[in-house]
Structure 1
Amino acid sequence: MTTAFHDLADRVLAGEPATEHDALAVLRATDEEVLDVVAAAGRLRRAHFGNTVKVNYLVNLKSGLCPENCNYCSQALGSTAPILKYSWLKTDEALAQAAAGLKGGASRVCMVSSGRGPSDRDLDKVTEMVGAIKAEHPQVEVCACLGLLKDGQAERLREAGVDAYNHNINTAESHHDQIVQTHTYADRVDTVEKAKGAGLSPCSGLIAGLGETDEQLVEALLALKALDSDSIPVNFLMPFDGTPYENTWELTPQRCLLILAMARFVCPDKELRIAGGREMHLRSLQGLALHVANSIFLGDYLTSEGQAAEADLELIRDNGFVVLGSEEHAAQLAHPDPAIRRRGAGTSIPANA
């Protein structure tokens, strides 16, 4: 067993932040060290999140028709990817889609629209949808992802019942201009700060496989830590036909595992979500990745199909995890044996309870 990564886990569990050097060492682990890296990162995951997996569900409110030129995106200006393009869903359509995700075990619904950012009329539509979803499912978390925010818009979303706001930085500041030119890295950070300032839980992550260096991956994760992002979606580039990245294949399943492990060491107590591209790039190692990450999207993504929701839930069960908020999770938390209660609660129950 390679002890260096477990020594790193010991230090992080003791409250010592992982350094840039530590993060690079994780990313550059050899094939023979991958399982040791996962085991060490898994200790952090279990300490903070027990054996739970948070399940999220995407509702694509508006598809395509975007004026931004994000080179990785099938919905971007100039993309010829064969995707569905439509304007805003009606409230009842959004409600039906959200209900399907919740029935499958999701506890958070992510309401996403394409475009540079919402107009005030767009916000009217979204707040109406949020009100309808919360009226029928008051326990659900709602995360909005609507693009760049103007002053006052985050406050409107918070007042309407939105719990979180997603706006990914996507890559390191030093690499940002290589992947998009119609907005800046600072624009993205500003929107995350607006969301935080309004009391929304900040959700911001990255896309791996965009031609970035190891150093730039670490730079991006350290930036997300500095932003204090509560949840960090890690996407793996899906090289859509008709986009500038259509022939870009930089990732292997083991590389994806190391990226997730690096994220866990840098941000040990944050929700780490395996997002777009996990089926394509992690493939048979998806289950192993759950021993590092503690959150996934259920079913399909914005413009691409994921694996069947039943397969996702089976993946969770087969790897010894329970869905956060499920009956199985509730039974763990109510169990008379403190060891079993701790299994579902991470560090929230003292060891001597």
Structure 2
Amino acid sequence: MIQLRTDWYSLAYKAIQGECPTFEEGLSVLQADDDELLALMDAAFQVRKHFYGKKVKLNLIINAKSGLCPEDCGYCSQSIVSQAPVSKYPLLEKDILVDGARKAMELKVGTYCIVASGKGPTGKELEQVIAAVKEIKATMPMKVCACLGILSDEQAVRLQEAGVDRYNHNLNTSERNFGNITTTHTYEDRVSTVQKAKASGMSPCSGFIAGMGESDEEIVETAVALRRLDADSIPVNFLNPIAGTPLQHMNTLNPRKCLKVLALMRFVNPSKEIRVAGGRELNLRSLQALGLYVANSIFVGDYLTTEGQEAAEDHRMIEDLGFEVELCAL
């Protein structure tokens, strides 16, 4: 006789009621037998459907400043310790940033993400971003997200006043694992920046990267930390082990584990925008579409220094699922 677990739906019910899974329940999601994967995904889909229906939010990144970073983040091809052959250039001029937003509009993107390498923005860089954001907001019905590193209170306020809707600063990994990944700034530095962004009036965006040597317990801890941080948007990245980086040989993920990570994020942060982010194509492979039964947001186009799936393929995937793109509502 076939026996199926039914407690995934009890987790879904709890999530819809706003109740966080226990630590043990979170672990059970990550460690579920693969034979239970479809039942698990369906339970997570019930939560996603309750809060977001079948709509999918689209985001696009512009790599506004590449390389030239003094930080030692082990996953990043732009860090000072990376030997990866990536482009290196200072912050792009305002007109290029604005033109990138126009191209994003053509792809039905609702949130345009201006991302710059470095520990934090210089005064000149902040002014360039502010000028670009003001023009974008004045001419296009689009949300703007900035990701410029660690901020001061004053910088956060100035970005918000310029029209930045959302600020991204990922926790990246658990507090326990953080020192194994980065030593040039602290976990608390990242938490503090997200809090400053929120205090300024910008929507806080913070997520993590799975597959960097963390334990299942640490993934659960990170999911709960993001719930406590009350991030409105949670990018779930899956490590792309880029040649020339300290984590180039790290390879611990498979598509089924990635789906379980997404399900955990949905149960722990039920009403939040869960975005399948960097490493989606590499790690989910042929199961990419299943990720959207849990997540309600994806990036289209390329990432920072790695290529993404063609935008037309993403649009086709959404259509094939019977889902629809959620257009920007300011």
Asked if residue 112 in structure 1 is aligned to residue 115 in structure 2, the reply is yes
Q: State the Cα deviation string for residues 153-180 of structure 1 (Å, max 9, x = none).
A: 1000001000010000001101100000
* Residue aligning to 1:83: 86
The aligned amino acid for 2:87 is L
Q: State the Cα deviation string for residues 301-327 of structure 1 (Å, max 9, x = none).
A: 01110010000111111111100028x
Equivalents in 1 of 2:183, 2:59: separation in Å? 30
Q: State the Cα deviation string for residues 196-222 of structure 1 (Å, max 9, x = none).
A: 110110000000000000000011110
Query: Cα distance, 1:99 vs. partner?
Result: 1.1
User: Is the 2:171–2:207 contact (alpha carbons within 8 Å) kept by the matching residues of 1?
Assistant: yes
* Residue aligning to 1:213: 215
Query: Which of 168, 181, 184 is the equivalent residue of 1:182?
Result: 184
The aligned amino acid for 1:167 is H
* Residue aligning to 1:32: 35
Asked if residue 231 in structure 1 is aligned to residue 239 in structure 2, the reply is no
Query: Which of 55, 58, 62 is the equivalent residue of 2:58?
Result: 55
- 5 Å matches for 1:279-318? 279-318=281-320
Query: Which of 242, 245, 251 is the equivalent residue of 1:243?
Result: 245
Query: Which of 22, 25, 38 is the equivalent residue of 2:25?
Result: 22
The aligned amino acid for 1:4 is D
Asked if residue 43 in structure 1 is aligned to residue 21 in structure 2, the reply is no
User: Is the 2:18–2:270 contact (alpha carbons within 8 Å) kept by the matching residues of 1?
Assistant: no
Query: Which of 91, 95, 101 is the equivalent residue of 2:98?
Result: 95
Equivalents in 2 of 1:53, 1:173: separation in Å? 31
User: Is the 1:101–1:298 contact (alpha carbons within 8 Å) kept by the matching residues of 2?
Assistant: no
SS in structure 1 at match of 2:12: helix
Equivalents in 1 of 2:164, 2:228: separation in Å? 23
* Residue aligning to 2:162: 160
Query: Cα distance, 1:47 vs. partner?
Result: 0.2
Equivalents in 2 of 1:186, 1:313: separation in Å? 38
Unmatched runs of 5 consecutive residues or more in structure 2: none
Query: Which of 145, 148, 155 is the equivalent residue of 1:146?
Result: 148
Identity %: 51
Asked if residue 13 in structure 1 is aligned to residue 16 in structure 2, the reply is yes
Equivalents in 2 of 1:280, 1:258: separation in Å? 16
The aligned amino acid for 2:237 is N
SS in structure 2 at match of 1:272: strand
Query: Cα distance, 1:284 vs. partner?
Result: 0.7
SS in structure 1 at match of 2:158: helix
Asked if residue 321 in structure 1 is aligned to residue 323 in structure 2, the reply is yes
SS in structure 2 at match of 1:234: strand
SS in structure 1 at match of 2:153: coil
SS in structure 1 at match of 2:58: strand
221-230 or 6-15: bigger deviation = 6-15
User: Is the 1:55–1:297 contact (alpha carbons within 8 Å) kept by the matching residues of 2?
Assistant: yes
The aligned amino acid for 1:169 is L
Asked if residue 67 in structure 1 is aligned to residue 70 in structure 2, the reply is yes
Query: Cα distance, 1:15 vs. partner?
Result: 3.3
The aligned amino acid for 2:159 is L
Q: State the Cα deviation string for residues 82-132 of structure 1 (Å, max 9, x = none).
A: 111111111111111121111101000010000000122211010001012
User: Is the 2:69–2:118 contact (alpha carbons within 8 Å) kept by the matching residues of 1?
Assistant: yes
* Residue aligning to 2:135: 132
Query: Cα distance, 1:20 vs. partner?
Result: 1.3
RMSD between aligned residues: 1.1
Equivalents in 2 of 1:239, 1:100: separation in Å? 29
Equivalents in 2 of 1:261, 1:76: separation in Å? 31
* Residue aligning to 2:262: 260
Structure 2 length normalisation: TM-score? 0.97
Equivalents in 1 of 2:174, 2:88: separation in Å? 30
User: Is the 2:101–2:112 contact (alpha carbons within 8 Å) kept by the matching residues of 1?
Assistant: yes
Query: Cα distance, 1:37 vs. partner?
Result: 0.5
User: Is the 1:58–1:111 contact (alpha carbons within 8 Å) kept by the matching residues of 2?
Assistant: yes
SS in structure 2 at match of 1:152: helix
User: Is the 2:174–2:221 contact (alpha carbons within 8 Å) kept by the matching residues of 1?
Assistant: yes
SS in structure 1 at match of 2:209: strand
